[in-house]
Amino acid sequence: MILLFLGSPGVGKGTYAQVLTEVLEIPHISTGDLLREEAKRDTPLGREINEIMMKGELVPDHVMLKLIEERITHDDCKNGFILDGFPRNLVQANHLQNLVDITHVLNFKADDEVIIQRLSGRITCKKCNMIYNKVGKKPEIEGVCDKCGGELFQREDDKPESVKKRLDVYREKTQPLIDHYTNKGLLVEVVINKHIIEIKERLISQIKAYLEGKINKIEEIK
Ligand code: AMP
């Protein structure tokens, strides 16, 4: 099973990917997380990536393609994987198509105000990348990851200066992928306007039923 998660920054797809990776027992590959790891290294490539990410722009395709090609050859990907944050444009989508057979594309959607609120409240673990939210899913101890005890921080690119640019880039470069995958008959919508924490269980069981072919659409939970 090879799943692609599409959707604007802050929509909640990373949170759902972190749950589904356990439910489906396939790895969650977040290109944002891979890039943040690379950016921590004090190398010319790391510094270049960091600069691009802080501006909210896309890292060049040749860097991304190399990164993805390498990651999906790891042993843990042999039964499939979840790609979160890749592809981000048509060049990446066309390249991916030559590498693997995508089975499902989940397009996560929420209203703009919900997205802005999620982005401004998001806090992430420095160590294991677990996602929390200051208003939604709070950690048990403030500033500390429930899962690994790592320190929680607000991503630099979740600050308002970068957020606007990231949303613009999403609309211009990534949104066209919705038509691309709809035309291929691979896309299903997942609407999450309600508080993630309140609907997570019900939505996960719907997604699971969809992936097992038991239902053919995922209803919004209101
Ligand atoms: P994310 O964690 O998915 O929101 O990604 C954070 C940042 O990493 C983005 O704003 C981009 O700068 C970069 N990035 C992540 N995935 C990609 C990709 N597939 N192509 C280009 N840049 C990416």
Residue 36, CB-side half-sphere exposure with 13 Å CA sphere = 16
83: Cβ below 6 Å to ligand 1? no
How crowded is the C-beta side of 88, counted as CA atoms within 13 Å?
23
- pLDDT category, 136, cuts 50, 70, 90? confident
Distances (CA, A) of 214 to 42, 129, 152, 211: 48, 32, 38, 8
pLDDT at residue number 222? 87
Active site members: 13, 88, 122, 155, 166
| Residue among 18, 59, 68, 119 to mutate when testing ligand 1 (max atoms within 8 A of CB) | 59
Query: Does residue 143 register a pLDDT over 90?
Result: yes
Mean pLDDT to the nearest integer, 186-202? 92
Per-residue pLDDT of 33-80, as tens digits, reads 999 999 998 899 999 999 999 999 999 999 999 999 999 999 999 999
CA–centroid distance, 57 to ligand 1, in Å, is 8
Nearest to 50 by CA among 63, 69, 65: 63
Kindly give the distance from the C-alpha atom of residue 207 to the centroid of ligand 1, in angstroms, as a whole number: 24
152-153/187-191 β-pairing: unpaired
Q: Residue 161 above 90 pLDDT?
A: no
- Ligand 1 in contact with 167 (CB < 6 A)? no
pLDDT digits (tens, 9 = 90+) for 73-93: 999 999 999 999 999 999 999
Delineate the domains of the chain, giving CATH numbers in brackets.
Answer: 2-110+169-211 (3.40.50.300)
C-beta separation of 104 from 188 below 8 A:
yes
Q: Is 7 in the pocket of ligand 1 (CB under 6 A)?
A: no
Q: Is 162 in the pocket of ligand 1 (CB under 6 A)?
A: no
- Token pair recorded at residue 65: 């393609």
Mean pLDDT, residues 148-172 = 92
Residue 214, φ and ψ in degrees, nearest 5 = -85, -25
Kindly list the distances between the CA atom of residue 74 and the CA atoms of 81, 119, 219, in Å, as whole numbers in the listed order.
11, 31, 34
Please determine, for residue 197, whether its predicted confidence score (pLDDT) is greater than 90. no
DSSP label of 159: S
Q: Is 195 exposed, middle or buried (0-12, 13-18, 19+ CB in 10 A)?
A: middle
